[in-house]
Structure 1
Amino acid sequence: MTERLRTTLLDAVLIVAAVVEGALTAISEESSTALALYVIAMLGVLVRERWPLTSFVVTLPAVVFSGAIVAAIVTLYTVAGRYRSWWLLAGCWLVTAGSVAFPLLDVAPQFWRTEMLVGVIYFTMTAGAPILLGRFLHSRRELALRLDEVKQAREHERRLDAQAVLAKERNQLAREMHDVVSHQVSLIAVQAGAMKVSTTDPAVKAGAENVRQLSVNTLDELRHMVNLLRASGTPATELTPQPTLTDLRRLIDNSALDARLVGDAPEDLEPPVQRAIYRTIQEALTNVRKHAPGAGVTIDITRDDTDLTVTVTNTRPTRPTLALPSARHGLVGLQERAALLGGRLYTGSMPDGGFQLRLRLPLTAHG
């Protein structure tokens, strides 16, 4: 049962009790004055949540002149749950006790002479019970709020601890990438530059320059990735600069492959879609260099009424394949990119011994 439902049920019970007690009192006394005071008291009960002190005051005449005390007790409970001033609550307590005792001055004077102590205990407890109950429930609600705040603080602290652990792991990964990968790629770039200077063969010179340029581009991208890993969890986590389709021609020209581009992508593609297309073609060209040396590559970009399709097809290799390490993480990453955009990635061998990679994205994936 929710807190709101419990509060609603409690209000309904209190109102019914006040109505029953007031109706019985008015019927027993058969007085229009008592009925009027009872109606005023009931109005006070109905508006007690908005004006608790006012509603408490308007219920006191019904206690003094007709003895209907339930309405006063209900409004006093509301006052105790709303205000924290013990001076105010003590005043309300004394006024309520006096109002409850007043009708007995004329009705039972013998009672005051013989059972005064019992009467004082009865009146004070009758007036004090709703105050104590109201303060207890108010303290309970405040405690629940504090416990919820503590829970949220602990959850926030747990997230901060997890972020700190991740930041430590990313920094370690960034150091390893910088120390190992950059060292090896730098050696490749230096040796390619030395080969370019030492050779007189134009073809070898061009190939060495292409290897050197690819190594430099790899080092530049590696630097951005290391910066990203080190800055993860801070505002400086943007992957900049991000490739777009305007860089596609340069990617193909620097691929050292016999590659040609057929068709053009729409100009209104969103940045995530452009990155997905660029990375797909980049990974496909990398796989051709690794697994199909000397193969020709055709990159075809088409669209129909529902989909945008990027197809990268290579012929069978014409040179021996070098044994290079591969864990297929690149294709897995491309499949995840496609899935995030609502598309699919297809790969498979061709009848002529070649290989084809096809990315299909729905037209709703771009602007």
Structure 2
Amino acid sequence: MTDGPWHRRHRQAVDVGLAVFFALVDTGATLAGDSWWPARPGPLAWTLLGLQVLACLSLAVRRRAPITVLAVLGGFTLALTLLISPGGLLTPKNDSTIWAPYATVLAAYGPLFYRENRANRELRKAGWRPRDPRPTWLPSPRWTEYTWLALLSLVVARVWEPSLPVLTVGLLRTAVGPLLALYMDTRRRLELALTERAERAERERHLLAEQARTEERVRLAGEMHDVVTHRLSLMVLQAGALRMTAPDEATRQAAEEMRAAGCQALDELRDLVGILRTAPAEDQTPSVAGFAALIAESTAVGTPAELVEEGDRALASPVVGRTAYRIVREALTNVRKHAPGAHVTVRVSYEEAQVRLSIRNTPPTQRPNRALVGTGSGLGIPHLRQRIDLVNGTLRAGRSPDGGFAVEATLPAYIPTAESAV
């Protein structure tokens, strides 16, 4: 079962690949004479080339320490520049080019973009969840990032040796990353704002629908009380009068039975009106926290099961958690009926946007009990499909290649309901 695109599940591998790529590109460009490489390289040039490779490889930690990566590449560029001029220890073949590595383009992207990621990690440590209101107590130290970027721009553009081509190319090289980071950050903030607005509208719609249902129940209760109770009361009174005036015992007995039935109907109607006037009880189906109990229950009755959970349970909203619980419960029930002796593996993955479930069992080792199989209605999976369709999820159920059976479901992690409007 996959948990998302490969590049998101292996971000460190992606960063390492980018670091190696830029190290090779910068090395090739330097040796080709597009940068600071001298016409007659000596030990110092080869040493600096090795240091440049190490500086480019620092991109491997650009998400966790973007300022550090920026400082490493900026420090290398500054040291190289000072050795060339005014140090005079190195003479480039072409002194009108940019001496900074191409890796500085990617390094300049990190400080502004990944600052938000660090802030989100601090929020999560404090107990914040992605759909909670964002607190305002976090500092916004962007001046630090801007200061480092300004220093890098000054070093790359070599402002102490003004040259229009170098200034232009240098400023463009260090400006592309921050501008792209600001664009991506603004876009992400806009998407979050639009998502929050849509979820708020959905919660309000659910609240209005719940209010309308409550008002309709009250109206129906009033109609039943006013109309039906009135007619039943007349019937009871007429039956009582008939009992008193009937000339024979059989008629009096029938009238008494009619009167007693009417009184009982009035009592039951009173209870029914009370139920209609009261809001319905909440769904008591357990949520994702009940998975462990299901697994223990299944193991206790002879169907060994294993639970594997990945991610944060809090990402699943209440209605999604209850739907997921029903899926796992129905799948385990089917295994006990149709595949006795099989081993079951339940995998649950909680992600920002969706919750993935996979319930797989091995082939059965015993013959199914016909009496137990006959107790089912055959509508378990169809009913699950209906419930999953209500939350815009997907369900796949069928035999697996090893002879077992697999149930896989994908549910949206968050469904705004009246429960969410807190």
- In 2, Cα distance between equivalents of 1:235 and 1:160: 14
- In 2, Cα distance between equivalents of 1:215 and 1:138: 71
Q: Quick one: higher RCO (CA 8 Å, sep 6+), 1 or 2?
A: 2
Question: Which residue, 99, 103, 121 being the options, matches 2:155?
Answer: 99
- Could you tell me which residue of structure 1 aligns to residue 28 of structure 2? 24
Aligned positions of 1:145-184 closer than 5 A: 145-184=192-231
Q: Cα distance, 1:49 vs. partner? A: 1.1
Q: Cα distance, 1:228 vs. partner? A: 2.4
**Could you tell which deviates more after superposition, 31-40 or 88-97?**
31-40
1:192 maps to a residue whose letter is A
**Which has more helix, going by share of residues?**
1
Indicate the SS of the match to 2:63: coil
- In 2, Cα distance between equivalents of 1:80 and 1:52: 9
Does the alignment pair 1:82 with 2:114?
Answer: yes
Q: Deviations over 1:70-128 (max 9, x none)?
A: 322212201111235341232122211122134x97xxx6xx3xx4x554444333322
Give the TM-score normalised by the residue count of structure 1.
0.54
Q: Cα distance, 1:150 vs. partner? A: 0.8
CA RMSD of aligned residues (A): 4.0
8 Å CA contact retained: 1:44, 1:56: no
Aligned positions of 1:60-75 closer than 5 A: 60-65=74-79, 67-75=99-107
Does the alignment pair 1:187 with 2:234?
Answer: yes
The answer for unaligned runs of 5 or more in structure 2 is: 81-98, 116-139, 284-369, 382-422
Q: Deviations over 1:138-171 (max 9, x none)?
A: 1111111111111111111122222233333322
1:214 maps to a residue whose letter is A
- Could you tell me which residue of structure 1 aligns to residue 324 of structure 2? none
**CA distance 1:91–1:72, change in 2 (3 Å):** same
Q: Deviations over 1:172-201 (max 9, x none)?
A: 222211111111111112222233334464
The answer for unaligned runs of 5 or more in structure 1 is: 237-303, 310-337, 343-367
Indicate the SS of the match to 1:50: coil
**CA distance 1:177–1:27, change in 2 (3 Å):** same
8 Å CA contact retained: 1:18, 1:70: yes
8 Å CA contact retained: 1:62, 1:69: no
Q: Cα distance, 1:60 vs. partner? A: 2.1
- Could you tell me which residue of structure 1 aligns to residue 268 of structure 2? 221
**Could you tell which deviates more after superposition, 223-232 or 89-98?**
223-232
Using the aligned pairs only, state the percent identity.
Answer: 28
Indicate the SS of the match to 1:126: helix
8 Å CA contact retained: 1:26, 1:38: no
Q: Deviations over 1:266-292 (max 9, x none)?
A: xxxxxxxxxxxxxxxxxxxxxxxxxxx
- In 1, Cα distance between equivalents of 2:236 and 2:192: 62
Q: Deviations over 1:236-285 (max 9, x none)?
A: 9xxxxxxxxxxxxxxxxxxxxxxxxxxxxxxxxxxxxxxxxxxxxxxxxx
Aligned positions of 1:1-367 closer than 5 A: 15=19, 18-25=22-29, 27-28=31-32, 29=37, 31-65=45-79, 67-83=99-115, 85-102=141-158, 112=162, 115=163, 119-199=166-246, 201-232=248-279, 305=371
Larger radius of gyration: 1
Q: Deviations over 1:48-69 (max 9, x none)?
A: 1122222222222343355343
Q: Cα distance, 1:46 vs. partner? A: 1.0
Q: Cα distance, 1:341 vs. partner? A: 9.3
| Matched length | 238
